[in-house]
Amino acid sequence: MRVQVAIVGAGPAGLLLGQLLARAGIETVILEQRSPEYVLSRIRAGLLEQGTVDTLEEAGVAQRLHKEGLVHHGVELCFAGERHRIDYQGLVGKSVTIYGQTEVTHDLMDARKAIGAPSVYEAESVSVHDFDGNSPRVRYRTDGGAHEVTCDFIAGCDGFHGVTRQSVPAGALKTYERVYPFGWLGVLSDTPPVSEELIYTNHERGFALCTMRSMTRSRYYVQCPLTEKVEDWPDERFWDELRSRLDAKASAELISGPSIEKSIAPLRSFVAEPLRFGHLFLAGDAAHIVPPTGAKGLNLAVSDVRYLAHGLIAYYRSGDSSRLDRYSERCLRRIWLAERFSWWMTSLMHRFPDTDAFGRRMQAAELTYLFRSPTAQKSLAENYVGLPLED
Ligand code: FAD
Ligand code: DHB
C-alpha cells in the first residue's frame, strides 16, 4: 500500500489528523493496535478549549458537540470548605465546552467511515522504518500476514507507550519528566452532577474533582496513593471518600449511584524534544504528558495536530515546507506553557505525602492570594480556556 501520510494510532490525535488531511484531499491510512470498541471504552478527558472546538469545526465533526456539549462560563475552586468561583466569561470573555473524549473519538470514527478512508484496527507489531531517509515505511501484521505501507511522512499519534517515539535514536531525543507520588481514581455514573459547574477541591484528605458528561451523567475523581487498586474501591467507599472531601453543601447534595466505569490514572509530566525527525512527526501523548489537573492533555493533542495538518496541507498544495520546518518549535512553545500550568495546578490542589507544615502553609497562602487577586484569577481563567493558537 502507498499513501501520502501513514498515521500510527487512532486516538483523538490520529483520527483528527486523518480527518483534517482527508478534507484537503490528502491520502492517509491509520494503523491502530487495539479494536474500535477498546479505544471507545477508555474514559479520559472532558473539557474542551475554544480552540479545540474551532479545530473540530474545521474538521467537520462538531455538529453533535454543539448539540450535546455543555458550555461552562466559569469554574469553582474549593479550599477550607469554601467554594470560590472563577468567572471565565467575565475575566477573559471566553468559555469552555464539556464533551467527553469518548464522544469526540466516536464522532471522528464516524466521519472517517463516512469518507471511506482506510483504518486498520488490531494491527500488530507496528514498526516504522527509514524515516530519516527518503523512503519512509510502516510495517505491521494482521491475521492475514505481514504488510508494508510506503509513504511521504509518518505521524506518530500512538500515545505515551507507543512505538514511534521509541524508534527515534536515543541521542536524537531529549526528554524531561516528573512523576507525581499519587494518582486519580475516577468514577463515571449515571447520576446528575452535584453542581452546574466543575468543582476542584483541595482538602486535607486529598484532591477531588466533580465534573460531568451531561446533566444525567457525572464524572468524579479523588486523589489516591499509587499503591491502591481499583478492587480496593467498592462504590460505597468511593462515594464516602468523595463526600468527605467536598464542602458541606456539595456533600449534602451529592447523588450517588452505581459506577459504570472506574479506573486509576497515574500523574506525570513529560516532554520529548524535538517533535520531528526527518519524515517522522510526533503529536499528542506520543510527545508529551501533563497531569490532568489543568485539563490540557486532549487540548494539546488537538493543537499539535492542527499545526501538523496545516503544515502538511501547505506542503502538498504549494510545496511550501516552512510550516513543517517550524512544527516542533511552535508546538513546544505551547506545550511548555501547558506543562507549566498543569504542574502549577497540580502543586496547588493536591496533598503531597512528603510536604511539611511550611509547604502546606505556602499552598494555603497561594490559594488565599488567588481568591483575593483578580490578576491571578485572570491568569488561571486564561489558561483554562486556552492560550491563543498561532495561525
Ligand atoms: P491516545 O489517546 O493515547 O491514543 C493513542 C492511540 O495509539 C491509542 O488508541 C493506542 O491504542 C494506539 N497505539 C499505542 N501504541 C501503538 C502501536 N504500537 N501501534 C499502533 N497503535 C498504537 N486528559 C485530560 O485533559 N483530562 C483527563 O481527565 C484525562 N484523563 C486521562 C486518563 C488516562 C488513564 C490517560 C492515559 C490519559 C488521560 N488524559 C486526560 C489525557 C488525554 O486523554 C490524552 O492527552 C489524549 O488521549 C491524547 O490523545 P492521543 O491521541 O495523543 O493519545
Ligand atoms: C475532566 C478531567 C480533568 O482532568 C479536568 O481537569 C477537567 C475535566 C473531565 O473528565 O471531565
What is the tens place of the pLDDT at every residue in 243-258? 999 999 999 999 999 9
Q: Atom 26 of ligand 1 has which residue's CA nearest to it?
A: 45
Whether 96 is in the pocket of ligand 1, judged by its Cβ within 6 Å, is no
What mean pLDDT comes out for the span 55-82? Answer: 98
- Active-site residue 384, yes or no? yes
What is the reported pTM?
0.97
Which residue among 285, 331, 346, 349 has the greatest number of ligand 1 atoms within 8 angstroms of its CB, and so is best to mutate? 285
C-alpha 42 – ligand 1 centre gap (Å): 9
Three-class secondary structure of residue 261 per DSSP: strand
Burial class (CB in 10 A: 0-12, 13-18, 19+), 160: middle
pLDDT of residue 148: 98
Q: Atom 9 of ligand 2 has which residue's CA nearest to it?
A: 46
Of 99, 140, 200, 307, which one is the catalytic site residue?
Answer: 200
Rounded-to-integer distance, Cα 47 and Cα 385, Å: 9
Q: Measured from the CA of 123, which atom of ligand 1 is nearest?
A: 20
Whether 12 is in the pocket of ligand 1, judged by its Cβ within 6 Å, is yes
pLDDT of residue 159: 98
Whether 11 is in the pocket of ligand 1, judged by its Cβ within 6 Å, is yes
C-alpha 159 – ligand 1 centre gap (Å): 5
Rounded-to-integer distance, Cα 89 and Cα 378, Å: 10
**Any idea of the CA torsion for 199, 201, 207, 212, to the nearest 10 degrees?**
-10
Tell me: the pLDDT tens digits for 26-56?
Answer: 999 999 999 999 999 999 999 999 999 999 9
What backbone torsions phi and psi does residue 215 show, to the nearest 5 degrees? -75, 0
pLDDT of residue 380: 98
- Active-site residue 72, yes or no? yes
Q: Atom 25 of ligand 1 has which residue's CA nearest to it?
A: 295
What mean pLDDT comes out for the span 353-362? Answer: 96
Sheet bearing 5-8, strands edge to edge = 119-120, 28-31, 5-8, 153-156, 280-282, 276-277
pLDDT(312) > 90: yes
Binned at pLDDT 50, 70 and 90, residue 321 comes out as very high
- Active-site residue 192, yes or no? no
Q: And the C-alpha cell for 128? A: 516504522
pLDDT(298) > 90: yes
Q: Which helix (H) or strand (E) holds 211?
A: strand 208-214
Whether 102 is in the pocket of ligand 1, judged by its Cβ within 6 Å, is no
Q: Atom 5 of ligand 2 has which residue's CA nearest to it?
A: 295
C-alpha 181 – ligand 2 centre gap (Å): 19
- Active-site residue 296, yes or no? yes
Q: Measured from the CA of 140, which atom of ligand 1 is nearest?
A: 19
pLDDT of residue 220: 98
Binned at pLDDT 50, 70 and 90, residue 390 comes out as confident
pLDDT(180) > 90: yes
pLDDT of residue 249: 98
What backbone torsions phi and psi does residue 364 show, to the nearest 5 degrees? -65, -40
Q: Measured from the CA of 295, which atom of ligand 1 is nearest?
A: 25
User: What per-residue string of b and e applies to 350-375 under the rule 16 or more CB within 10 Å gives b?
Assistant: bebeeeeeeeeeebeeebeebeeeee
Tell me: the pLDDT tens digits for 125-177?
Answer: 999 999 998 899 999 999 989 999 999 999 999 999 999 999 999 899 999 99
User: What per-residue string of b and e applies to 230-257 under the rule 16 or more CB within 10 Å gives b?
Assistant: eeebeeeebbebbeebbbeebeeebebe
C-alpha 204 – ligand 1 centre gap (Å): 30
Rounded-to-integer distance, Cα 346 and Cα 267, Å: 9
pLDDT of residue 391: 79
Q: Return the ligand number nearest the Cα of 47.
A: 2
With a pLDDT cut of 70, the percent of the chain lying above it is 100
The rounded Cα 3 to chain-centroid distance in angstroms is 28
Binned at pLDDT 50, 70 and 90, residue 218 comes out as very high
Residues with CB under 6 A from ligand 2: 45-47, 198, 211, 219, 292-293, 295
Q: Are 88 and 378 in contact (CB under 8 A)?
A: no
pLDDT of residue 70: 98
**Any idea of the CA torsion for 10, 150, 167, 153, to the nearest 10 degrees?**
-70
